[in-house]
Amino acid sequence: MPRLLRSTSARLALGFGLAFAASALILVGVLWWATAGSLARQTDAVIREDAEALGQIYRDEGFYGLALAIGRRLDDDRGGGRLYLLAGRHLAPIAGNLAAWPLRIGGRSGWSDIEIVRGGEAAPARVLTLDLPDGQRLLVGRDLRERQQLRASVVGALIWWLAAALALAALLGLLLRRLFQARLRAIRTTAEAIAHGDIARRVPAADSDDEFDLLASTINEMLDRIQDLIADVRNVSNAIAHDLRTPLAELRSRLETLRQHQDDRPGLAAGIDDAVGDVDRLIAIFTALLRLVEIDSGTRRAGFAAVDLGTVVGDVGEFYAAVAEAKGIGFTVAAPPGLVVEGDRDLLSQALGNLIDNALKFTPPGGVVRVAVAPVGPAGAEITVADSGQGVAEPDLPKLTQRFYRADSSRHTPGIGLGLSLVQAVADLHRGTLDLANRDPGLNARLCLPRIAGSAASDRQADRLSTADSKDI
């Protein structure tokens, strides 16, 4: 039993059975009060009314009129359940159907429960005794044998009903336990299968909307997410292995060459520079991965503060303006102040820098890159980076934010495939969105962020400035 009670389903079933049994006991009590109790109250009411009527006859017709009334009542008593006794001063019987005054009552007045002997058998009786003037006494009552038999029948029926209710409670408790065990067994079996490597297993669910199906649906969604994360980890691991293998192989080859040409001073210096470049690529990969892990963990949210997007865009745009000029690319920035978001200034600057760097990387000389900040609706702000490059194939657009993913058009362009992944992670951390769409020509990147309430004071100025430049974007 102690081992059984350690089971939650067993405790639930036992609790259900006890609750059902308690409700059955309450119902039995109510039925008893409504049947046997009602009969007792009804008997008392009849005796009281009969006694009051006889008392009125005594007051109207006297002692002999009362004796005659008792005789008439006994003559009309077909069931034989009425009890009357009119006694004199010394309790000697004068009229009625009792042979003697009950010794148990004696000289006491009021209600009494006694036993009488009728037909050689003892029977329970309920009587009311009254004191009359001149020392006479009156007893009015009812034989309770029929009521006792009826009460015994009611008690027997209630006992049988209670036993059936308890048996039904036990049966329902067992069925409830089996139901819980069956539904939980499916979850446990699925969990065990997943623990042994079958990550494609899912919890079976019916088409109903009960709590178990909702739990199964939630667990399956969690398992789908876990499977996607495992796939992402596997893909990232493969991508890391691939992207690290190339610079490591190049680094090893350069070091081998340097060892073979130790006397070639100019070549030695150039080889060292190339090796340092390979090491820098490796460091960039690990730095980007560590930054993504830091963002995904959410720890950077602790340092969030109010950030003016116009200031961030202006500062980052000023840095990249020189790069664009060196490449012969037109570069414009529209950064009105007053659009304030809650976030990490450094991460937002890095995300914007990655978007601008990508735009400059894929825009040919003579092209244009435009950066702008503008309000979106009543509580949003967006940073837009638009270029006039070659764009991206439509099937590749949804994959650009995957870690280490590089479209075919960018295979021969320097990069590690983590820039847009970091921008997407920054957008998620700030509860924003990143939208990438082709232009004609080029690519349009929109980083949308929720704005701090009350920062809309400069919306009119922002709209005016962004509208003035919207034709060029």
| pLDDT 10s digits, 152-164 | 777 777 788 778 8
Q: Which of 93-97, 257-261, 325-329 has the lowest mean pLDDT?
A: 257-261
Using the CB atoms, write b or e for 400-423: b if 16+ within 10 Å: bbbbbbbeeebeeeebbbbbbbbb
Q: Which of 3-7, 175-179, 227-231 has the lowest mean pLDDT?
A: 3-7
Residues near 151 by beta carbon (within 8 Å), at least 6 away in sequence: 35, 36, 39
Mean pLDDT of 119-127: 82
Q: What are the backbone angles phi and psi of residue 175, rounded to the nearest 5°?
A: -65, -40
334-372 tens-digit pLDDT: 988 888 888 888 888 988 998 998 889 888 899 999 999
CA distance 461 to 333: 15
Residues near 247 by beta carbon (within 8 Å), at least 6 away in sequence: 278, 279, 281, 282
CA distance 345 to 333: 18
CA distance 95 to 89: 13
CA distance 401 to 392: 13
CA 333 to chain centre: 47
Please give the residue that has the higher pLDDT: either 424 or 158: 424
129-140 tens-digit pLDDT: 998 887 889 999
97 pLDDT higher than 80: yes
Q: What are the backbone angles phi and psi of residue 137, rounded to the nearest 5°?
A: -135, 150
CA distance 51 to 85: 11
Q: What are the backbone angles phi and psi of residue 445, rounded to the nearest 5°?
A: -115, 125
Mean pLDDT of 390-408: 76
CA distance 257 to 255: 5
- Look at residue 465 in the predicted model and tell me its pLDDT: 42
232-286 tens-digit pLDDT: 666 666 666 666 666 777 777 777 776 666 666 666 667 777 777 767 766 766 6
Q: Helix 211-260 and helix 145-195: axis angle, to 10°? A: 10
Q: Which of 404, 405, 397 is nearest to 439 (CA)?
A: 397
- Residue 434 near residue 446 (C-beta atoms within 8 A): yes
